[in-house]
Structures are given as structure tokens and as C-alpha cells.
Chains A and B, each alone.
Chain A
């Protein structure tokens, strides 16, 4: 079974530029998560989708971050404009369902460096 796919794996941009990350979840997984992991910290949930609807985006900085999951499969996370403090690893995860007993499976992450 293929795992969660993410691209690109690495991205370097200048502050105030825009960037987008892509995630393809495990086939059949209805729930998709985006986490931000700053160096030395644990991952922090940014947004959670159930199919193509948002379940939780309480920690998403909505003035600069946006995410969509069209057709309930792939998802894109965008940052516009980027700030230095956005340098982090962005992890995508998926699970069969959104309720608490569903185990999450993580992708390899995208490492973003903002200069």
C-alpha cells in the first residue's frame, strides 16, 4: 500500500514570496491533516479536512496561509506572503476517518526555508 506522498521535499524562498505544498493521502482515507513542525518542536496541527470540508483550522494563520482539498483527495497548502518564522517542516497525514480512534499516517514532509 502506497503511503502519504508530499512534494516538493525541500523549498527555499525569500520572505514575502509565495509557496505551495502538495499532498496525496493514502487511497481511501477520508481525513487529511497538515501539521507545521518548527525545529526542536513537536508538530502543530494547522488544518484538518474530512473529505473536502474543514473540520478544524483553529491554528491556521488565515491572513497568510490557505489550504484546499478539492474533490476530497489531494490537498494543497499555500503561504502568501511567507515570513521568516514560517521556516519549518510541513507534514501531511491522513486517516480513514476523523474520529479519535483513527490512526494517522504521515508523509515525509516538506522542509521550507525562508530567507
Chain B
């Protein structure tokens, strides 16, 4: 059974800092990995999707990397801003037909002005 872990559960940083959010998974037989952002009381917004054949994806100040062999992914946020404050979740989908996602519990990020 796939398990996704995100540690720590919460993180507080000063504005402008570069930071890394970690995600680990137990079963390396994944098709893709996604990073989502969730604002309080809101749904999930997809940030980056990495196919298993890829090593990383970039969007603006965000860069996500994937190392299937070690079961790890990182989300790098450059020059953090207070508007980046949210919960960040990673999710993996398995190889095979079904697109069922398994989520981690998320990391709640607070960026202090």
C-alpha cells in the first residue's frame, strides 16, 4: 500500500527566504507526482506535475524534482512571499490503469513579512 509522508507538518520562514518542502513515498512504482496548493477553506490548485520519466518541472519561482529510486520529491520555492502562505500537498498516482491519487498530509507554510 502506497504511503506518502510530508515532514514537517508546519514551517514558518521570513519573507525572501528560499525554501524546500519534502515529500517521500514508499512505493516507487508511480506514474506521476503532483504538488498542490490549498488555501484555507479552498480546494486544491495544481502547481506542478512531474511524470515518472522526468526529473523536474519548473513554473515561475517553483521547481519540483523527483527521484523515484529513493522515493523522494522536493518543492523548491525561491524568494518566498507572504502570498505563498498556504498548505502544500504532494500526491502520487500509480503505474497501471487507474489514476487514483494518494496524498500526503501536507505542509502548512507561513511566510512572515
B4 touching A42, Cβ below 8 Å: yes
Q: B99 and A95: CB pair below 8 A? A: yes
Interface hits, A36-63 → B, CB 8 Å: 40-45, 48, 55-56
* Complex CA–CA separation, A19 to B96 (angstroms): 35
Q: Spot the interface stretch: B13-21, B40-48, B54-62.
A: B40-48
B54 to chain A, nearest CB (A): 12
Residues on A with beta carbons closer than 8 Å to the beta carbon of B45: 106
Contact A40 B105 (CB under 8 A): yes
Give A37 Cβ to nearest chain B Cβ, in Å. 8
Asked if A56 and B98 make an inter-chain contact with CB atoms under 8 angstroms apart, the answer reads yes
Smallest beta-carbon distance B29→chain A, Å: 11
**Inside 8 A of A100's CB, which chain B residues have their CB?**
31-32, 93-99
Chain B residues lying within 8 Å of A95, measured Cβ to Cβ, are: 99
Determine if A25 is an interface residue (Cβ-Cβ < 8 Å).
no
User: A43 — which chain B residues lie within 8 A by C-beta?
Assistant: 44, 89, 101, 103
Q: Which residues of A contact B75 (CB under 8 A)?
A: none
Docked complex: B27-78 residues within 8 A CB-CB of A: 31-32, 34, 36, 41-46, 49, 51
A residues at B contact (CB < 8 Å)? 4, 6, 31, 40-45, 48, 55-56, 91, 93, 95, 97-109, 111
Q: Can you give 26 contacting A-B residue pairs, CB < 8 Å?
A: A41-B105, A42-B91, A42-B103, A43-B89, A43-B103, A45-B100, A45-B101, A56-B98, A91-B43, A93-B44, A95-B99, A98-B99, A99-B98, A99-B99, A100-B32, A100-B93, A100-B98, A100-B99, A102-B99, A103-B49, A104-B46, A104-B99, A106-B43, A106-B45, A108-B42, A108-B43
Q: 15 extra interchain contacts, Cβ-Cβ under 8 A, other than A99-B97, A100-B96?
A: A6-B43, A42-B105, A43-B103, A45-B100, A48-B98, A56-B100, A98-B98, A98-B99, A100-B94, A104-B101, A106-B36, A106-B44, A107-B43, A108-B42, A109-B43
